[in-house]
Structure formats: C-alpha cells, structure tokens
Amino acid sequence: MRLSDYLHNLYLKKICKLKTRNKMNETLTVFMISEIERLREEGREPARRIYHNMLRTLRESAGKEEIGFEEVTPVFLGKYEHWLLGKRLSWNTVSTYMRALRAGYNRGMKGRPGYVTGLFDKVYTGTRSDVKRAVDARTVGRMIRMSGCPDESASAKAVDWFVLMFMLRGIPFVDLAHLRRSNLDKGVLTYCRHKTGQEVSISVPREAMEIINRRMVENCHPSYLLPILGQPRTRKRHTKKALTPYQEYQYALRNLNRRLERVSVDLRLGGRLSSYTARHTWATIAFHQETPVGVISRGLGHSSVKVTETYLKPFGDREVDRTNRKILNYVLNAV
C-alpha cells in the first residue's frame, strides 16, 4: 500500500469516529467520507474505490485534508483537472473522478444555501473512445480456432473466455464470471448486468455451448456456471486472509488480462488484447455489417443508444468521410 493511501485511510477512520456532526457545517471532505462508508456498507466496492481515489487525489491536489463545499469553484475544478492530467491519468479517468465529485457535491449541497448550478460545465465529464480496443474478424477467427485445441493451460482458458465473451454478444467479463448455473436454461442465458442491472437474454450459439460444456467439467463451485470464481487457488504467502468476492474477481480479471496480453504477443497482433477487446470487437464488426445502432445497443445491453455511439464514434466518422467522398465524386462526374 502506498504511503499516501495509508495516511488517507487513517484520516478516513478518524473522521468516521465522529458520532455527531452539524450538517450545515459539514465539509465536502467529511460528506464524501460518509458516502464512501455508505458504499462500503452497501457492498458497492467498485463505486467505493472510485470515490476513495477521487477524494484522495482531490486532497493531494489541494494540498490539505479538509475541503469545504464553498471552495469548489470553476477555478478549483480546473486546477484539479490540470493536476490529474499532470499525473498522466487518461481523460476517461479524469471524467470518472469529476463525475463522482459532481454527484457528491450535488447530494451534499441538497438543502443547503449556496448551491451553484453548472459548476462542472467547464471540466471534462464525457467519455472518449480514442483508444483502439477492437481487433479484426481474422484475429477473432484465429482465436476461435485456438479455443478448440485440447489445451488446459491458463492461456488456453483465457482464449476460451475471450471467445465466449465475443460469441455471447460481447458480454462483459464481470457478467461472464458471475453467471450462475440457474442463468442457463434450454440454451438461453438470462442474467442481469452488474453495471446497470438491466436484464439480458441471449440464445447461446452452438459453438459457445461447446466451450461452456467443456469448461463446466472442471468447475468446483456448485452455483457458478464457469470455473472463474469460487475455485481453489493459491493464496499469497504474506496473507492468510480469504479474498473478498470483489478481490477474487479483480484477481481473475488481472490474470485474464495478463494471459490475453501474452496471447496477443504470440499471435503478433501488434496491439494489446484485454477483457474489453471482445466487447468492442463484437460492436465494431456488427457496425461494419451495417447492423442498426439500436440493435447493437440492445445486443450489448446498453442503457441507451448514446452509450453505444461512444463505442462506434471513430468508425462513424470514417463512414461520414467516405459518404462525403461519394457525394463529391457523384457531383464531379455529373459536371
């Protein structure tokens, strides 16, 4: 654990010991700590980690522990954004922290005087798709052929998970890992997305069912569909504590990404495979097959078409450019 994280955790514990507090005099720092504690009690570990890291970096950028609501101004936010970028964080990470801060500010200022509307209008809170995460159809085909090989190595298992994620309409790894046996009935998978809670129903292709049946044989857990979570694994030497469910998932995710990175080197892709690649690739290939964006959105289980458009924006721009060229050629040939 980094020293800054250790000191930050000590400060969190100190604040949480305060049994009573005057809400009107409560600082942003104290309110955010109470939000972090609430998320922990609700078991919402991913959100808790985001809020924790946001508050830690906010305090580091401000150079102090206590930050009042009244200190949050456009200038203050601009300096925080600049500080985050100076730490070489991606624009999407900056956006994640800003949206967490905005949500906390809005909740904390509810019923208080001095609330400022549009406070976050000048900082980045969007989503960028400037990182190439998709691979071409030929690469996916090679990985599908690899998944049929009788190989029990960790890399072979990672290939199977990648292929399954692609075949199951780009299912996120978090959803794949948490699938229950009860989610599969008569060749149809029905589950709720971890991220949005939205119900998704997938007719499992024959090729995907072959992988599921093959991997289910080695599954030691009575409830999980696949041998990803709930399996015996070696504990680190320095700890005897059992992993929490979230830690176990993170452990599996890191292993998957490490194995996929090795596979990408073996295949000489020139790019990096990750748990996101299968999902983005499914969406990209569907787009190039002229599938309506609404259908792609439903296939991915997105809450809105706007989210899907973020995936496809770079390709949409190219399509518009090609259309523009066609229009110009048509006009020039008509002269």
Residues 132 and 130: their CA atoms lie apart, in Å, by 6
pLDDT in tens, 156-183: 999 999 999 999 999 999 999 999 999 9
Cα R_g (the chain), whole angstroms:
24
Residues 226 and 242: their CA atoms lie apart, in Å, by 20
Which residues have CB under 8 Å from 300's CB, separation 6+?
169, 170, 279, 282, 283, 308, 311
Query: Per-domain residue ranges for the chain?
Result: 3-108, 137-318
Which residues have CB under 8 Å from 5's CB, separation 6+?
56
What is the helix (H) or strand (E) element at residue 282, kind and residue range? helix 277-288
pTM, two decimal places: 0.74
| Torsional sign, CA 291, 293, 294, 297 | positive
Contact 226, 211 (CB under 8 A): no
pLDDT on residue 303: 77
Contact 229, 180 (CB under 8 A): no
Q: In one letter, which amino acid is 300?
A: L
pLDDT in tens, 58-116: 999 999 999 999 999 999 999 999 999 999 998 989 999 999 999 999 999 988 888 99
Q: How many CA atoms lie within 13 A of 235 on its CB side?
A: 8
What is the helix (H) or strand (E) element at residue 199, kind and residue range? strand 199-203
Superfamily of domain 137-318: Intergrase catalytic core (1.10.443.10)
Strands 188-192 and 184-185: antiparallel
